[in-house]
Chain A
Amino acid sequence: MSTRAKFAAVVASAGVLGAGWAVGTANGATVTNTNTTTTGTTANNGTSTTSTNNTNTTTTGSTSYKDGTYTGTTVQHRFGSVTVTVTISGGKITNVSAQALDGGDRRSQSIDSQAVPIMKSEVLAANSANVSTISGATYTSGAYITSLQSALAKA
Chain B
Amino acid sequence: MSTTTTDRPVKQNTAAPRRGTARAADYAAALRRRYRIQSFGRNLRADLLTVIGWVSVAMSITLWLADGGLNKITSFGTALTALGIVSGLVATDLMVLMLLLAARIPFVDRAFGHDHAVAVHTKLGKWVLYGLLLHGWFLLCGYAAKDGLGLTAEAGSLLSVNDLVLGVCALGILGAVAISSIIAVKKSMPYEVWHVIHLLTYIAVGFSLPHQFSMGALMGPGTFARGYWIGLFVVTGFAILAFRVFLPFFASLEHQLVVTKVRYEANDVVSIEMQGRNLPALDVEGGQFFQWRFLAKGLWWHQHPFSVSAAPTSDTLRITIRALGRGTTALMNVKPGTRVMIEGPYGIFSDASRTAANLVMVGIGIGIAPIRALLEATDIVPGRATVILRGHTPSQLYLLREIQVLCQERGVKLITLVGSRTQNRLHETGWMPASHRGNRLVDLVPYVADSDVYVCGPQTASDLVIADALACGTPANSIHNERFAW
Contacts and interface: CB of A to CB of B under 8 A. Distances in A.
A21 B146 CA distance: 25
Interface residues of B, number: 38
Interface in A78-127: 78-79, 103-107, 110
B71 A9 contact: no
A64 B423 CA distance: 101
Contact of B214 (A14, A52, A105): A105
B458 interface: no
A4 B40 CA distance: 13
A12 B147 contact: no
Interface stretch (B43-51, B188-196, B331-339): B43-51
Q: Size class of A's contact patch? A: 20 to 34
Residue among A13, A21, A27, A31 with most chain B CB within 10 A:
A13
B454 to A, nearest CB: 21
B163 interface: yes
A79 to B, nearest CB: 7
Contact of B62 (A8, A16, A52): A16
Contacts of A107: 143, 158, 161, 215
- 10 interchain residue pairs of minimum CB distance: A20-B62, A20-B65, A13-B58, A9-B54, A5-B47, A106-B161, A23-B66, A16-B58, A28-B71, A24-B65
A128 to B, nearest CB: 27
Contact of B59 (A2, A10, A16): A16
Contacts of B63: 20
A2 B47 contact: yes
B468 interface: no
6 contacts: A5-B47, A12-B55, A14-B58, A16-B55, A21-B62, A78-B220
A19 B161 CA distance: 35
A31 B67 CA distance: 12
A135 interface: yes
Nearest to B147: A110
Contacts of B51: 5, 8-9, 12
A62 interface: no
B70 A24 contact: yes
A104 B54 CA distance: 36
For the complex, would chain B's binding face be called helix, strand, loop or mixed by DSSP majority?
Answer: helix
A20 B64 contact: yes
The A contact surface, by secondary structure, is: helix
Interface of B: 43, 46-47, 50-51, 53-55, 57-59, 61-71, 74, 143, 146-147, 157-158, 160-161, 163-164, 214-215, 217, 220-222
Contact of B55 (A13, A79, A135): A13
Nearest to A16: B58
Contact of B54 (A13, A21, A28, A135): A13
A24 B54 contact: no
Interface in A18-73: 19-21, 23-25, 27-28, 31, 52
A92 B221 CA distance: 38
Contacts of B147: 110
B70 A25 contact: yes
Contact of B50 (A1, A78, A110): A1
B54 A12 contact: yes
Nearest to A138: B72
A105 B215 contact: yes
Contact of B70 (A1, A21, A52, A79): A21
Contact of B65 (A10, A23, A78, A104): A23
B191 to A, nearest CB: 30
Given A2-B47, A14-B58, A17-B65, 5 more contacts: A5-B46, A10-B54, A13-B57, A17-B58, A20-B65
